[in-house]
Amino acid sequence: MEHGESILILDFGSQYTQLIARRVRENFVYCEIHPHTFSLEEIKSYNPKGIILSGGPMSVYDEGAPAIDAEIFKLGVPVLGICYGMQLVARAFDGNVEPAKDREYGKANLNLLGESILFEGVPDNSVVWMSHGDYITKMPDHFRVSARTTNSPICAVENEEQKIFGLQFHPEVIHSEYGKKIVNNFLFPICGLTGNWNPKNFITQSTAEIKEKVGNSKVICALSGGVDSSVAAVLLHEAIGENLVCIHVDNGLMRKNESNDIVKMFDDHFNLNIIHVDATKLFLDRLEGVADPEKKRKIIGNTFIDVFEEEAKKFDDAAYLVQGTLYPDVIESVPVKGVSVTIKTHHNVGGLPEKMNLKLIEPFRELFKDEVRAIGRELGIPADFIRRHPFPGPGLAVRVLGEITEERLNILREADDIYIKEIISHGIYDDIWQAFAVLLPVRTVGVMGDFRTYENVIAIRAVVSTDGMTADWFRFDYDFLEIVSNKIIRNVRGVNRVTYDISSKPPSTIEWE
């Protein structure tokens, strides 16, 4: 896609690199993240209006530490180096960097020294977030110190004339009180951008491109009802109307009424061409007697492909398949030391395009989830639908622990429905990243009236998170927990105990399987 103005973020392996990109995009400025190995030639042809060097886990004097071609400072493009990025700036201009005795981590107060465009509108003494183990001991040539903290006498440096800036702290992290303002100053007064990367423009541009690419061919969409596939379907419908065929597969593992609600939403608000396939029986037959979580995922993934392929065959004139791939799935990551192991395999519609000989359309390859949500709202998808918590592809199969039966799915559906409705009616749904109930594979003893019961246990889970990679359990009021527990035990037959999951991720995961 043609983006016009763009910022380049060079990634040196910081855990915050994607946050930098989100801060830039929040200002309606397009940006891309590329690994630090992106060459000078590639940078030139990318033609950025500004460059941000991210932080990173290494020290600039470590053996094998990623370096930078000093030529980038001669391109006449403003540069902002953050943390490791600032050490690189210092080194490039003959400064000196040394390891600190103690690693500085956490909040500090920023004292401004003199006037700086980067700190315009930032009051003296604001809180910033530090996370580094090195500091500058000799100033780079032609730079001045523009801010300090108690422990970092050189906390920000700048060469105003060449528009090169370095920050020891992380403006992209929300704990940096005026971080947004600092990023904003870099983008507008310093890089001179206009900020025209917004949902409206995205829709106009991408529908035009899709139209051009697809022509009169048919496009198939696997409409799960999740945010990404839903927004993709509506966008494609804007672009090519009747030539979009949506297939919604009900795998029998959705929440209470969910499949019907999804189809109804699209019927009520949009004139989408949706084929609603109820494949519950096939999925549940194939899952019978299976307790292992990874086996469940595999069966569900394969069955989905079988059902989808069977339906899609009816449209043998289709040439494309839409996928809601997001930018975080596409960003080439900077390798970090150590091995990564598969904790859970996540099922999506991978494998389908090759098998069916379809070409892919991925309209959100360059977008973050919050941007897809904003586009969904702009396209008129109801806000309640857009703000829903994430829901895993294998659905309730990984929330009915152990073997799955229709009866156990229904117990879980009722409990989950009560729990989520309470969260909504207490006005806390948007404070939570993800909330759901889990049916445990054990029974416990209870007493109801004068009788002993021996029934199921429901665990409820609610977490806060920004991306699902790490998560903390949500602090409900005790009164809220009491209401939910009572309602579930009173109303759901077969449940006599409710527990609340107070584990964070890591070491636990969000889902139980």
The catalytic residue positions are 83, 170, 172
Tokens (6 digits) for 121? 């509108």
Strands (E), 91-190: 96-112, 126-138, 144-148, 156-159, 164-167
Determine which residue in the list 44, 74, 107, 346 makes contact with ligand XMP, applying CB under 6 A.
346
501 contributes a contact to ligand XMP by CB under 6 A: no
Q: How many residues bind ligand XMP (CB under 6 A)?
A: 14
For ligand XMP, which stretch binds (CB under 6 A), given 101-109, 133-141, 323-331, 504-512? 504-512
22 contributes a contact to ligand XMP by CB under 6 A: no
Nearest distance from C-beta of residue 227 to ligand XMP, angstroms: 12
225 contributes a contact to ligand XMP by CB under 6 A: no
313 contributes a contact to ligand XMP by CB under 6 A: no
369 contributes a contact to ligand XMP by CB under 6 A: no
* Three-state secondary structure call for residue 104: strand
Peptide bond into 506 cis (omega under 30): yes
347 contributes a contact to ligand XMP by CB under 6 A: yes
For ligand XMP, which stretch binds (CB under 6 A), given 109-117, 166-174, 232-240, 386-394? 386-394
Number of C-beta neighbours around residue 49 at 10 A = 20
Q: What values do phi and psi take at 129, rounded to 5?
A: -105, 120
Determine which residue in the list 13, 51, 393, 484 makes contact with ligand XMP, applying CB under 6 A.
393
Number of C-beta neighbours around residue 221 at 10 A = 28
For ligand XMP, which stretch binds (CB under 6 A), given 203-211, 380-388, 451-459, 503-511? 503-511
Integer Cα distance of 48 and 6 in angstroms: 5
Asked if residues 195 and 28 have their Cβ atoms less than 8 Å apart, the reply is yes
| DSSP string covering 459-491 | EEEEEE-SSSSSBEE----HHHHHHHHHHHHHH
Integer Cα distance of 20 and 171 in angstroms: 8
Site for ligand XMP in 286-305 (CB under 6 A): 297
259 contributes a contact to ligand XMP by CB under 6 A: no
Nearest distance from C-beta of residue 419 to ligand XMP, angstroms: 15
| DSSP string covering 15-76 | TTHHHHHHHHHHTT-EEEEEETT--HHHHHHH--SEEEE---SS-TTSTT-----GGGGGSS
Determine which residue in the list 468, 487, 500, 504 makes contact with ligand XMP, applying CB under 6 A.
468
Determine which residue in the list 57, 328, 353, 390 makes contact with ligand XMP, applying CB under 6 A.
390
Interacting residue ranges for ligand XMP, rule: CB under 6 A: 297, 344, 346-347, 390, 392-394, 434, 468, 505, 509-511
